[in-house]
A = this chain, B = another copy of it.
Amino acid sequence: MSAQENCDEMANSISETKNKRRKLVDIRHDNLQQIMSVAEQLFAQRGYSGTTISAIAQSANLPKANVLYYFKSKEALYKAVLEHMLVVWMKHMDEMTSDQHPRDALRNYIVQKIKQSKDSPNGSKIFAAEILHGAPFLREQLETQLKQQFESTCQVFRDWIAKQWMDPISPEHLLFLLWSSTQAYADFSLQSSVLMDKSKLDDSDYEAGIELITRLVLKGCGISQI
């Protein structure tokens, strides 16, 4: 009983600080989480081939064989990380709807996307690297999920144009610019700071990025900023 009380329903992040008696379901959950977390970090830093299972295991404080117990192969682990990131990456796109005014919708999208680049740069980097190398592990999802999201967002832009809420610009290329310019704050984060004489980008830098992108997009699309 005295051991049981520590175990029952304490929702610790690691579910149990010391290794007294942990439920199997918690062990599984924690280890999966831990492995995917460090895998995300390492894949972002060194790419797929540059990351070894040993390195992941070491960072996660687990023996290598234990990592392969939870993920049957390196590829499976990488795909798990990737697919998780795809969801996160697409998340804010469907928040833009035809009935919203583009002024608010676009501004909000840019804010959310830059915040994402700031808060989870690793995931963003993995995703970008995957695209860059021709999406060998993600081709299928791109051709279905992302393509669908892409087309529906382009349709929103077309609706705004039809309502004359914005000038008739190419929806596809506008979306490319939104993706790339916001993504840059994740990809270039390390180097931006070098160029700007800082150890790392601070809040005001991300604010300035938001402001500039928003300004260019809204003015460029002929959308009143107020």
Contact = CB atoms under 8 A, between A and B. Distances in A.
Interface of A: 44-50, 125, 128-129, 131-135, 139, 142-143, 146-147, 150-151, 169-170, 172-174, 176-177, 179-181, 183-185, 187-188, 190-192, 194-196, 208-209, 211-213, 215-222
A116 to B, nearest CB: 15
B47 A187 contact: no
Contacts of A208: 170, 172-173
B47 A47 contact: yes
A212 B129 contact: no
A217 to B, nearest CB: 6
* Count of this chain's copies in the oligomeric assembly: 2
Nearest to A209: B173
The list of the 7 closest CB pairs from A to B, nearest first, reads: A216-B220, A180-B184, A49-B50, A49-B49, A173-B212, A180-B180, A219-B220
A142 B191 contact: yes
